[in-house]
Amino acid sequence: MLRYALLLLAFSPLAAVAQAVPKPDVPTAAPVVPAAPILPVKSAILIDAETGQVLVEQDADARVEPASITKVLAAYVLFHELRAGRLKLEDPVRISENAFNRGIGGSRMFVNVNSEVSAKDLLLGMIVQSGNDATIALAEHIAGSEQAFADLMNQYAKKIGMSSSNFTNAPGLPEPEHYSTARDIARLSQQVISEFPEYYAWYSTPEFTFNGIQQYNRNALLRRDDSVDGIKTGHTSSAGYCLASSAKRGDMRLIAVVMGSKSEETRAQESQSLLNYGFRFFEAHTLYKAGEELAKPKLWKGETPELALGLANDARIVIPRGKYDQLKAQMDVPSLLIAPVAKGHAVGTVKVLLDGKTVIDRPLVALTEGAEGGLWTRMTDGFWLWFEDEPASP
């Protein structure tokens, strides 16, 4: 199929696309953007929560022990159970001897063996207090055994693209084949925030009291930065101090993951430095809205003479501050578009480049139905198509 590239030049048809990009409401003078902080940790990553764009990474694919950050995946499985109706917040959950005993010596909620505790209290005990006992009790309640629940965790991890992770227990206790990466944990955090905002709110709970014992959320950033509302800490002697954190300032949410820090205080400081760097030196823009008309090529043999093209979803981008005016767009559409074309059918692409690198690559879709025209239209257009080069259908 013959295609043509439209470059973002004043005399090009893509000028219409350029006009569709809103002008930034910030000064266009580019500030000095320093290099990202290099942290004394095993691995780290900073991503935009909405787009998944990586803003900073440091050995983000290195295999590490996730420690109690594992409980974010356990919670993700449980949130799916709640949504499906297979678990209810008021359900009583019996505390087995195994759940009670494995909580001893680590972080725990202080549940009593053979007692019954509501699923909601156990979820809060797992999320706020990082209770190993609460996590194992819920795992056994859902899957019959912790190992079966770990299998469920691995299925969900694979489904959301955690390709470098494997989990052998629910609370994150050290085991040789229990591992993840900073990148996978960031991806998991992104899914929890986007899929379950109603339950994600629990991660900002400052403290939780159960059995007369008050315990505080171990995420120190919740008490230092009002924009931080999650997510989860982790620590073992072999894993070091770990933290997956998230903050929202204005219309931008970032997720920072720090693995293998030296102390509880440094993991908070290192996470804060990543978040501050991202918010200070990056900005988010929605370049094109879903359904916004970006092109209107001729529709041969169509009921209408032209067909509106646009994007099925918003095109959002996070870029270094001051780089907005350096974005360049390219649009690729068929030179000859012939009806019928179904609404939503991909008939081209839009690319946005920064410094020569593609930062957005989305299909252009038909925004309306491109139905065939009447007999006369099809005959006359068919005649004129003999004089066009290489007629093509989408």
71 has catalytic annotation: yes
Catalytic residue among 68, 96, 165, 246: 68
Reduced to 3 states (helix: H, G, I; strand: E, B; else coil), residue 102 is: helix
Catalytic residue among 71, 232, 301, 323: 71
- Exposure on the CB side of residue 247, measured as CA atoms within 13 A: 24
**C-alpha span between 72 and 294 (Å, rounded):** 40
Per-residue DSSP letter, 354: E
Helix (H) or strand (E) holding 123: helix 119-127
Interior/surface letters 121-159, b for 16+ CB within 10 angstroms, e for the rest: bbbbbbbbbbbbbbbbbbbbbbbeebeebbebbbebbee
Catalytic residue among 43, 96, 130, 246: 130
| Distances 38 to 29, 33, 48, 294 between C-alpha atoms, Å | 26, 15, 19, 41
AA letter at 167 = F
68 has catalytic annotation: yes
Q: Which residues, including other chains, have CB under 8 Å from residue 19's CB and lie 6 or more apart?
A: none
Per-residue DSSP letter, 145: S
**C-alpha span between 61 and 44 (Å, rounded):** 9
**C-alpha span between 148 and 341 (Å, rounded):** 48
Which candidate, 153, 93, 83, 81, places its Cα nearest to that of 122? 93
Per-residue DSSP letter, 370: B
| Distances 114 to 87, 96, 98, 100, 331 between C-alpha atoms, Å | 20, 6, 10, 9, 65
Pairing, β 43-48 against β 252-261: antiparallel
335 has catalytic annotation: no
- For the chain, the residue count is 394
| Distances 173 to 64, 100, 249 between C-alpha atoms, Å | 13, 15, 34
Task: Give the active site residues.
Answer: 68, 71, 130
